[in-house]
């Protein structure tokens, strides 16, 4: 049994792309045969390679780059990259360890393979990877803060490994200027419990392309939270591959786009084992002329993934005219024996009933709007589970709302 379900969406800016193929999953590129784009019948068939030359040049004709402003990313997809070690502030607790390993280390390449040219460009050129290891059954933490990477094109590779039965939290923070393409591998081994938080709060000129690959083992659990606030063009694409029986993943995202800012997330959850569970929830707010966000959520329930329980949603709040949110959920089911599967996508303006309720209690309109937006986004912030980081993000959101 194989069923593909295309988006069911509502409100002013909800979007179902008429150019998607029948499964809603686009197309892939031939590795080296020169035949160009060919139809993809399943998300699992999308082409991947660690060699940049195996990919066609980036083009808006390719569904993976359909919305992305290509002028801003061309050098990251095609040109030479500075792949020297990135200086970062690193702190750890417990048994967590952060080190640099050569690209031929056995720890590289375990979680996934690039599916686009920019990701492959970084993979091809990088000589070393920063490796974060969580071990032991006592909770450990690792925080890596990168700041001001300058404006020359750079490439990077990070590997996060949660060893069997371990528990830990990894925080990746990005601030300042950047022109960066990178790959992040996350390996959650059997019965491990890992939280990964990625914060993009770049300077207004920041350009950041990131592919996150995750492999989740038997009885293992991952919670990933991606927060995107600053930068000119940010594209963070997480993939979660549930490989082991009973694997569990929760993927959360929060973003706030201002005038002229472009933020994109392409999320892929691959259920590939029995009794697996996934929850995906991304929320965004947009304000100002030219503010543009794109969210694509693909969920594949493979033929071996009996007993799957999955749900994905994306919700966008448009604070001003001139902002655009594209939201495209896709669900592909290849077995009839599942617990549940669903998706939702909405994009619209303020809820008049909420505003009326607050104003009826004497709260001025502008303050009422601020409270509505704050409440809308705080649900994701509270998923982080790190009080000091949650407070920082709350403060950043308050600053954004003050400019609304």
Do the beta carbons of residue 58 and residue 77 sit within 8 Å? yes
Enumerate residues 6+ apart whose C-beta is below 8 A from 75: 153, 179
pLDDT at res. 375: 83
CA distance 125 to 115: 16
pLDDT at res. 145: 97
pLDDT at res. 247: 98
pLDDT at res. 404: 61
pLDDT at res. 374: 82
Strand partners, 202: 176
Strand partners, 311: 279, 342
Sites in the chain below the pLDDT cut of 50: 1-2, 5-35
pLDDT at res. 284: 96
| 8-state DSSP, 82 | B
Q: How many CB atoms lie within 10 A of CB 37?
A: 16
pLDDT at res. 400: 81
pLDDT at res. 354: 65
pLDDT at res. 4: 52
Q: How many CB atoms lie within 10 A of CB 138?
A: 11
CA distance 18 to 369: 34
Do the beta carbons of residue 142 and residue 168 sit within 8 Å? yes
pLDDT at res. 370: 75
- Go through 220-242 and write b for each residue having 16 or more CB atoms within 10 A of its CB, e for each that does not: bbbbbbbbbbbbbbbbbbbbbbb
């Amino acid at each position: 049994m194989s069923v593909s379900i295309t988006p069911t969406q509502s409100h002013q800016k909800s979007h179902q792309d008429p150019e998607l193929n029948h499964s809603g999953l686009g197309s892939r590129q031939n590795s080296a045969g020169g035949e160009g784009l060919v139809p993809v019948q399943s998300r699992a068939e999308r082409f991947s390679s660690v060699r940049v030359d195996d990919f066609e040049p980036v083009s808006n004709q390719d569904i993976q780059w359909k919305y992305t402003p290509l002028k801003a990313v061309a050098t990251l997809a095609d040109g030479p990259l500075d792949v020297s070690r990135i200086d970062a502030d690193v702190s750890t607790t417990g048994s967590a360890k952060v080190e640099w390993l050569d690209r031929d280390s056995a720890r590289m390449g375990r979680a996934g393979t690039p599916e686009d040219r920019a990701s492959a460009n970084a993979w091809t050129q990088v000589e070393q990877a920063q490796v974060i290891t969580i071990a032991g059954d006592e909770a450990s933490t690792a925080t890596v803060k990168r700041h001001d990477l300058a404006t020359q094109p750079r490439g990077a590779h990070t590997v996060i490994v949660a060893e069997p039965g371990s528990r830990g939290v990894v925080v990746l923070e990005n601030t300042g200027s950047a022109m960066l393409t990178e790959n992040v591998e996350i390996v959650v081994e059997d019965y491990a419990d890992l939280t990964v938080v990625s914060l993009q709060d770049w300077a207004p000129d920041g350009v950041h392309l990131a592919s996150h690959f995750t492999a989740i083992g038997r009885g293992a659990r991952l919670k990933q939270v991606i927060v995107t606030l600053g930068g000119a063009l940010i594209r963070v694409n997480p993939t979660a591959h549930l490989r082991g029986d009973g694997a569990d993943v929760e993927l959360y995202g929060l973003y706030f786009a201002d005038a002229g800012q472009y933020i994109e997330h392409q999320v892929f959850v691959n259920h590939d084992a029995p009794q697996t569970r996934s929850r995906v929830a991304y929320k965004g707010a947009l304000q100002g002329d030219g503010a543009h966000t794109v969210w694509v959520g693909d969920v594949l329930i493979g033929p071996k993934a009996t007993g799957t329980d999955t749900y994905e949603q994306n919700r966008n709040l448009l604070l001003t005219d001139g902002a655009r949110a594209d939201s495209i959920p896709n669900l592909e089911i290849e077995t009839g024996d599942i617990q549940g599967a669903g998706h939702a996508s909405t994009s619209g303006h303020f809820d008049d009933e909420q505003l009326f309720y607050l104003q009826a209690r004497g709260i001025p309109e502008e303050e009422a709007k601020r409270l509505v937006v704050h409440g809308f986004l705080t649900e994701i912030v509270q998923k982080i589970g790190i009080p000091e980081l949650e407070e920082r993000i709350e403060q950043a959101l308050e600053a954004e709302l003050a400019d609304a």
